[in-house]
Amino acid sequence: MTLKNPISGFLLFFWLFMAFCCNNKGAMLSESLRQNAVQELDSVMENQESWVTVHAAEYKIGLGYPEGVKEAFLEEQRQRGSQSPYRIGIWRVLAQSDPALANEYLEKITKAFQDRQGTDRVHAAETMAKLGQNLNEWAPEATREVLAGPINSLYVYTLWSTLQGTASAAGVSALMDLALDRELGDLVRMQAAYALRNEGNITQWKELAAEARALPEGAMEKVYLLSAAYIHAPVSEKGGGTWKSIRDELLAYAKSPGKAERMEMAIALGKSGLPEDLPVLVELLENKYPPLEEGKRDNAIIKPEDQADIRATAAYGILTLERSQTYSLAFGDWLVVLCYLGGMLGIGYYFSKKNKNEKDYFLGGGKMNPVAVGLSLFATLLSSLSYLSYPGEMVKYGPVILSGILVFPLVYYVVGWFLIPKFMKLRVTSAYEILEINLGVSIRLLATFFFLSLRFLWMGTIIFITVHTAILAIFGFDSKYTLLISILLMGITIFYTTLGGLKAVVFTDVIQSGVLMGGAILTLLVVSYSLGSFTSWIPGEWLGHWGELKLGLDAMERLTIGNALLTTFIWYVASSGSDQMSIQRFLATENLHTARKTFGVSLLTNFVVQFLLGLVGLAVLAYFIEFPQYLNPGETVASHADQLFPKFILVGLPVGISGLVAAGILAAAMSSLSSGLNSTSSVISEDLIKRFTKNYKAPKNQMSRVRNLSFFVGIFALFLSVLISKVEGNLYDVIVKVVNLFVSPLFVLFFMALFVPFATARGTFVGGLLSVAVAVAISFYKIMGIEVLFILPVSLIVGMVSGSIFSYFDHWLLGNKETMAKRSREAAIFKASRESQQ
């Protein structure tokens, strides 16, 4: 079989996929054991009292089973909300179960902490730390006072709270000193070890272990030191001598007469145990270790309510241990992915034989099929960034972002009838030749700088997010191989792009469009099957973690319906009207009609796929709400929204389908990277090399030169991907902050060059620079409280208004006659004269 028959090749690909389409993803727990553990938590919360119910409720929330918690504790608040210190526990549970009112309960807890005569200050400080709240921010004066005072329980928990939201190595070190200080009381050391157990990035686990093993049996802090050491032992040390000794001592606590010891052991095994520890936890759940007979040890008898607390903690340990299970792609998945990557390389090689000159490479000969080019444009604009971020955005913030697709008809009209006709009048290789014709060389060079900055950052972001969010999670590679994986991803893309040029890009984009849509549809089908129907995953109400639904325009709100419509409209118009990757595809068609058809196909495909990806977000949200056992310890659907789709690919899809969807993500990344390589190489060649090379002569081997140029573009994008990791925010925010910085500023230049007759180069230059400055100020400094999703509209308005004002003054007051209208007329006369001579 050869690439002369690509359809048969992909039929083989599909057959291989179907051959391995069987699910072998086994579960650690049986369904009956899982249900028993969940039912135990429900029973304890409903039938016990006071802090035992608080523990069970928090376990339920943390494990993703919040049903009934909010209602139960609202009733507790009505009946016992004034009892100190139990009221702190009630507020703690309600703050976690009702995010919309969390601040209200946090303020109550803070007031209790600030009450110097209160009886529940210690509980308040501990609760704020457990909830991840920094008392330095809520009550700075009281916090400073406590930390300047004596070292006691209040001191320990207040110090622990000040670590939240920071990366304070000094604070962790201070807790470590408290836990290891033998001159302090047992209670303070125990509480410090308990705080360390709940923190991350503890490297001194061996010191904790050594201190614990040096303590006599019965020492209050011993089990907490062991637990902290066991939980923070690195994976590389598991199985070593120190780790084994810690584990053996922890397991001995299964028969301890003390409730706290059994509970702490269960939590440690749940967080960092092995599958073979499961029977110990099951025996605790089933009360296989009875308490000592009365009189054996003072105050050591485990009361019925204590037994309930132990059973709930054992259930928590069992369900947490299950979440430590790892999943990986099966052989069939790997085969699908490898076949796909091999196909991409083969396509590049095939089309390399079809390119005869530079026009073939950059524009595909100028007579490409408009439907194919439209699909290519869709695949370019809907990169792996969108494929990963749209479902995550839907999970975390709800369907508001999806409402933006309602503005697509207006986008089609504006681009198709106001922008595309302008571009098709001038048959150019680089879109920025248009700017030079109307406004001069300086604006063309500024546009070149904007475009290259935009696309280099865009490609760097694609590499970074595809590798970190998808490839590491799905393929199970260690993070230390991140750079190597990034090089491999870019290397394959460079190879088939630099071989085949735009023809290879468009052909692979068409295939990748099908893979993208197929992956989304398969996800919806699998979730529907798993949950019982096609409608079971559609929320029946607006979920609490989505925040309040708002309709109008508001720059101070992250997202409203009006914001989504405006941002989507501006992004599509600005990208289509200024981006070389879009204009390049318009110019690759034969005429105005086919160019409009190209854009229409792209927009229609975007509509379908964005809608599908929005549904995918709702589907995976419902899936993980229904099956929270697949989330890692500490993960929730809200806190790890961006990771749900990649995780679902592993745990939810059958073998073969997982590989196909993983290939879809690689497809989306390589599709966009290939288009970025081709278009940036085109701009560098036309706008920089040819312009600034004295006595430029076309090389004898033009294709070799443009291929080398694409290679160096890819290397630079790879370098930028390393820097993207320093940008803060969730996946969607990072994309907006980095990728959209230059979208509006670039379109400002085209707007001035096409629609403002009195526009001058100097006025346009100032408008473009001010637009960038505003975009950066909003993105990284949140100037005037404007949210990052308003980068596009605000920077666009500032650029257009300032560019027009400065051009007006430049033309009418300073007498600059070199306006857009004048230069356009001169260019038209020159073109007509040249055509008549020919």
Question: What confidence tens digit (pLDDT) does each residue in 178-203 have?
Answer: 999 988 888 999 999 999 998 877 88
Residue in the structure block whose two tokens are 């106001």: 418
- Burial of 332: CB neighbours in 10 Å, binned 0-12, 13-18, 19+: buried
Residues 140-170 pLDDT 10s = 999 999 999 999 999 999 999 999 877 677 7
- Burial of 651: CB neighbours in 10 Å, binned 0-12, 13-18, 19+: middle
Give mean pLDDT, residues 808-818: 90
CB 750 within 8 A of CB 578: yes
CATH superfamily of 331-424+464-723: Sodium/glucose cotransporter (1.20.1730.10)
Whole-number average pLDDT of the chain: 82
Query: Residue 581: its pLDDT value, please?
Result: 67
Give mean pLDDT, residues 306-313: 91
Q: Cα 198–192–73 angle (5° rounding)?
A: 55
Q: Cα 537–529–642 angle (5° rounding)?
A: 50
Q: Return the number of other C-beta atoms located less than 10 Å from residue 724's C-beta.
A: 20
| Alpha-carbon separation of residue 481 from 234, 467, 487 (angstroms) | 18, 10, 10
Give mean pLDDT, residues 65-69: 91
pLDDT at 248 over 70: yes
How close are the terminal C-alpha atoms of the chain, in Å?
Answer: 48
Give mean pLDDT, residues 112-129: 93
Query: Residue 11: its pLDDT value, please?
Result: 42
pLDDT at 512 over 70: no
Q: Cα 391–393–398 angle (5° rounding)?
A: 100
Question: For residue 451, how many C-alpha atoms fall within 13 Å in the half-sphere facing its CB?
Answer: 33
Q: Confidence class of residue 378 from pLDDT cuts 50, 70 and 90?
A: low
Give mean pLDDT, residues 525-534: 89
Rounded Cα–Cα distance for residues 109 and 123 (Å): 9
pLDDT at 443 over 80: yes
Q: Considering only 122-126, 137-141, 297-301, which range has the smallest mean pLDDT?
A: 297-301
Query: Residue 833: its pLDDT value, please?
Result: 67
Residues 556-593 pLDDT 10s = 888 889 999 999 999 999 988 887 767 877 877 888 88
- Taking Cα atoms as reference points, which of 518, 731, 515, 521 lies closest to residue 615? 521
- DSSP letter for 819, please: B
Query: Residue 423: its pLDDT value, please?
Result: 83
CB 385 within 8 A of CB 462: yes
Q: Confidence class of residue 501 from pLDDT cuts 50, 70 and 90?
A: low
Query: Residue 430: its pLDDT value, please?
Result: 65
Rounded Cα–Cα distance for residues 142 and 2 (Å): 75
Residues 654-709 pLDDT 10s = 887 788 778 777 776 776 777 777 677 777 877 777 777 766 565 555 556 666 77
Query: Residue 369: its pLDDT value, please?
Result: 54
- Of 11 and 769, the structure prediction assigns the larger pLDDT to 769
Q: Confidence class of residue 295 from pLDDT cuts 50, 70 and 90?
A: very low
- Taking Cα atoms as reference points, which of 540, 510, 536 lies closest to residue 524? 536
Query: Residue 381: its pLDDT value, please?
Result: 54
- Of 335 and 355, the structure prediction assigns the larger pLDDT to 335
pLDDT at 297 over 50: no
Q: Return the number of other C-beta atoms located less than 10 Å from residue 275's C-beta.
A: 12
All residues at 6 or more sequence positions from 369 whose CB lies less than 8 Å from its CB, including other chains: none
Query: Residue 513: its pLDDT value, please?
Result: 67
Query: Residue 506: its pLDDT value, please?
Result: 64
Q: Confidence class of residue 264 from pLDDT cuts 50, 70 and 90?
A: very high
Query: Residue 365: its pLDDT value, please?
Result: 45
All residues at 6 or more sequence positions from 241 whose CB lies less than 8 Å from its CB, including other chains: none
Q: What percentage of the chain reaches a pLDDT higher than 70?
A: 84
Rounded Cα–Cα distance for residues 604 and 597 (Å): 10
Domains of the chain: which residue ranges? 331-424+464-723
The H or E element containing residue 815 is none
Q: Considering only 48-62, 336-350, 759-773, 774-788, which range has the smallest mean pLDDT?
A: 336-350
Rounded Cα–Cα distance for residues 774 and 769 (Å): 9
Query: Residue 224: its pLDDT value, please?
Result: 93
- CA 531, 535, 540, 544 dihedral sign is positive
